[in-house]
Each structure stands twice: as C-alpha cells, then as structure tokens.
C-alpha cells in the first residue's frame, strides 16, 4: 500500500493524506482502481476473471477386483 501512496503523490501530485486515502480506496473499489492505476497494477490487485474452467470427463464406475484382474490379463492399457 505504501507503493500506491508514493505513486499517487509522485504521479498525481496528491497530498500525503489524500494519497493514503486513495490507496485504501483502491482496494475497496475495483472501478476506482481501473480508473486511477496503470493496467499492470490494476490486474495484480484484481486478477481477471477466468473465462473457462477445464473439467475432466466422467470416469464412470470403478472396476471390481474381478474386472480389474481380467483387464490386466488382457494387457491393461497396453492392449
């Protein structure tokens, strides 16, 4: 948060009190962060939402011990 305060003082010419207030508000309001901070800084505080989550297929019912033995006898996954 100290880096944000220093950024606001240096780049936007804010007083120490105002820059401290802004740096706290940045963490409370995403739209304020998007408006006032550079893109990389905004994305480090608020990472972009994930658009797609990969899901595995349905594995089905597990083998019974008898089915597993038959599968192994037939060569397993090398068949």
- For the chain, the domain total comes to 1
- For residue 15, name the pLDDT band (cuts at 50, 70, 90): very high
Contact 5, 23 (CB under 8 A): yes
* 33 inside domain: yes
* 75 inside domain: no
Angstrom distances, CA of residue 31 to CA of 21, 38, 54, 64, 70: 16, 13, 29, 55, 61
Query: Residue 35 and residue 3: Cα distance in Å, rounded?
Result: 17
- The whole domain housing 37 covers 1-47
Per DSSP, the three-state class of 58 is: coil
What is the chain's alpha carbon radius of gyration, rounded to the nearest angstrom?
Answer: 27
Mean pLDDT taken over the chain: 86
* 39 inside domain: yes
pLDDT (mean) for 52-74: 82
* 69 inside domain: no
pLDDT at residue 64 is higher than 60: yes
Q: Taking the chain, what is the end-to-end CA distance rounded to the nearest angstrom? A: 59
């Amino acid at each position: 948060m100290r880096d944000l305060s220093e950024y606001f003082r240096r780049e936007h010419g804010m007083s120490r009190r105002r820059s401290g207030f802004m740096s706290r508000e940045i963490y409370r309001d995403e739209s304020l962060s998007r408006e006032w901070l550079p893109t990389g800084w905004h994305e480090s505080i608020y990472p972009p939402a994930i658009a797609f989550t990969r899901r595995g297929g349905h594995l089905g019912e597990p083998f019974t011990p008898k089915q597993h033995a038959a599968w192994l006898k037939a060569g397993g996954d090398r068949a």
